[in-house]
Amino acid sequence: MTKYREILRLYGLGINQTGIAASCGCSRKTVRNVLKRAQEMNIAWPLSSDITDDQLELKFFPDKSVPSISRKYPNYEHIDRELMKNGVTLKLLWEEYCEECRQCSELPLMYSQFCFHYQGYAQKKRATMHIPRKPGDQIEVDWAGDPLYLFDRDTGERAAVYLFVGALSYSLYAYAEAFPSQDMESWITAHVNMYQFFGGVTRMLVPDNLKTGVDRSDWYTPKINKTYHEMAEHYDTAVIPARVKHPKDKPAAEGTVGNLSTQIVAALRHQKFFSLSELNQEVRARLEVFNQKPFQKREGSRHLIFLNEEKPFLAPLPAAPYELAQWKQATVQFNYHISVDKMQYSVPYEYIRHQVDVRLTRNVIEVFFQNSRICSHQRLYGRQGQYSTTESHMPEEHQSYLKWDGDRFLQWAEKIGPYTVIAVKSILASYKIEQQGYKSCMGLLKLADKYSLNRLESACQKALSYTPHPSYKSIKNILVTGQDKISTPTTESSSSADSDQYGFTRGADYYGR
């Protein structure tokens, strides 16, 4: 899917079409066509957050068709490497290239065109060019190759730490900081601290093709790490990674890394540091000296050129620094929850069995499906296995179950009769936990739908005459067998009832015999 939103955003920043194509992983022709259609339809950045890439594609290219098969061009770098081997000729490589195209059902170039394009590539490869940089145009970042070391006071063991280096392409003003690892947290933290140090943001950010910045290293279709791209959006800059094994794409960073390796890493090789803060204090002091040092082939120093010529062109920093967010993937379980760091968070039940993207910050969990946010939760900490459940995420029948409690069952029973109320109270009281009796109460009250309200009331009365603790099954058996329809036999007269109120009483004379 073409990143239409990103193309319009970068164009709004003033990035040229080549830079937009490199950042978005598409061709310049695609960028040109998108910008042309946007101008024709009077669509420009900023866009509403509700507009997705799918909607933009439908607007821009409603009749978009599958492109026709074009000729496949060879890998010129592969040809260069193979020609260095004994006995390998262009003719042989062309034949292998044609066979590869036939296997992939693609059209190859003719031999003359094959040679023509390779010769043009070989001539361009040998050419060099100085590219003038504008003030505030870009920052180049990288890790220094050689590590520094921290020492344990007790054991004397040493642990490697790594130097992050950032340099402005125009003034070559540099920033450096040591980190215990080259993971994502260190990489993002280094950028946040670097922007605070410079006091502004450039239009472009040129990193190396390391995993913390670029998920897929490819000159034509690089895939920027999601967290890194989010940080770039926060600072409103464009990430344009350098090509693999092409250090000339970021000469400022490469040159600064070399100089700082001498001025800092090599100069501190005989000193021992026992804490990261102590080391970074020394790094900052030596960095200050490095930036103040006069150029050999230019007037002034990095610091002077930065203050006088480049800093005014930097874009202002956002109101708050970027908060590091981690991205993970999770599958929605059958209980419409996802498991993140051994905590459970609810998701709308419509997404059961779907894979979702999860964005984690210090306090918030956000869940995305196909780049659209579907819910969020406060992040849980402490005991593992906690649940954060939103009622609206449940199916309707599950929501209705939550609304049932003992009082609601009693209110329902009051509409039937007093004996039914007593039976429901008895059932609820017969369980240790009230919720365990909800199913029995539901089954008891549902009997009225089949046998009528009067019969259920009579059955409860009959059951209570047998036992003070009737069960759902005993009351149901009374209804099934029709015992509720049998009335209690009455006495023939009130006098006989009075005289025989105690039944067959033998009396004292009987027992005295």
Phi, psi (deg, nearest 5) at residue 341: 50, 40
What element of type H or E holds 345? strand 343-346
| Report field, pTM of the whole predicted structure over 0.85 | no
* Angle subtended by helix axes 406-414 and 438-451, to nearest 10: 20
Instruction: Quote the mean pLDDT of the chain.
Output: 82
| 450 vs 93: CA distance, rounded Å | 85
Of these ranges, 38-47, 256-265, 403-412, 415-424, the one predicted with the greatest mean pLDDT is: 415-424
Phi, psi (deg, nearest 5) at residue 134: -90, 150
Which whole number is the average pLDDT over 366-390?
Answer: 89
Which whole number is the average pLDDT over 228-235?
Answer: 88
Residue 294 has pLDDT above 60, yes or no: yes
Instruction: Say which residues have a Cβ less than 8 Å from residue 389's Cβ, sequence separation at least 6.
Output: 337, 344, 346
pLDDT digit string, tens, across residues 140-186: 888 887 888 998 888 888 889 999 998 898 888 999 999 988 888 88
Q: Using CB atoms within 10 Å of the CB of residue 335, give its burial: 0 to 12 exposed, 13 to 18 middle, 19+ buried.
A: middle
Which whole number is the average pLDDT over 448-464?
Answer: 91
3-class SS of residue 328: strand
3-class SS of residue 107: strand
| 420 vs 444: CA distance, rounded Å | 9
Phi, psi (deg, nearest 5) at residue 274: -110, -5
pLDDT at 491: 38
| 118 vs 108: CA distance, rounded Å | 14
pLDDT at 55: 83
Residue 66's pLDDT band, with cuts at 50, 70 and 90, is very low
pLDDT at 422: 93
* Angle subtended by helix axes 4-12 and 53-60, to nearest 10: 90
pLDDT at 88: 83
Which whole number is the average pLDDT over 481-489?
Answer: 76
pLDDT at 252: 59
Q: Which one is predicted more confidently, 395 or 375?
A: 375
- Smallest CA-to-CA distance from 93 within 102, 103, 106, 80 is with 80
- Smallest CA-to-CA distance from 384 within 347, 340, 348, 338 is with 340
pLDDT at 184: 84
Residue 193 has pLDDT above 90, yes or no: yes
**Residue ranges covered by each domain of the chain:** 4-60, 76-126, 138-313, 326-399, 404-485
How many other CB atoms are found less than 10 A from the CB of residue 440?
19
| DSSP classification of residue 146 | S
* Lowest mean pLDDT, pick from 238-252, 261-275, 456-470: 238-252
Question: Are the C-beta atoms of residues 326 and 227 closer than 8 Å to each other?
Answer: yes
Strand partners of residue 201: 315
pLDDT at 421: 92
* Lowest mean pLDDT, pick from 150-154, 264-268, 491-495: 491-495
Residue 65's pLDDT band, with cuts at 50, 70 and 90, is very low
Instruction: Say which residues have a Cβ less than 8 Å from residue 53's Cβ, sequence separation at least 6.
Output: 1, 2, 3, 4, 5, 371
Which whole number is the average pLDDT over 241-255?
Answer: 62
Sheet with strand 355-360: strands edge to edge: 326-331, 355-360, 364-369, 372-378
Instruction: Say which residues have a Cβ less than 8 Å from residue 207's Cβ, sequence separation at least 6.
Output: 140, 141, 142, 213, 214, 228, 239, 241, 242
| Torsion sign across C-alpha atoms 208, 210, 214, 216 | positive
pLDDT at 417: 92
| 47 vs 5: CA distance, rounded Å | 8
In the block, residue with structure tokens 């164009």: 11
* Lowest mean pLDDT, pick from 189-198, 203-212, 309-318, 337-346: 203-212
Question: Are the C-beta atoms of residues 391 and 353 closer than 8 Å to each other?
Answer: no
pLDDT at 498: 47
| 354 vs 356: CA distance, rounded Å | 6
Percent of the chain with pLDDT over 70: 85
Which whole number is the average pLDDT over 242-267?
Answer: 70
Question: For the domain bounded by 138-313, which CATH number is listed?
Answer: 3.30.420.10
Residue 132's pLDDT band, with cuts at 50, 70 and 90, is low
Residue 356's pLDDT band, with cuts at 50, 70 and 90, is very high
Of these ranges, 68-77, 130-139, 460-469, the one predicted with the greatest mean pLDDT is: 460-469
Question: Are the C-beta atoms of residues 23 and 10 closer than 8 Å to each other?
Answer: yes
Amino acid at 225: N
pLDDT at 337: 92
pLDDT digit string, tens, across residues 310-338: 899 999 999 888 888 788 899 999 889 99
pLDDT digit string, tens, across residues 379-438: 888 788 888 988 889 888 777 666 667 888 888 899 999 999 999 999 988 887 777 787
> CA–CA distance from 171 to each of 19, 193, 199, 239, 296 (Å)?
21, 19, 14, 20, 14
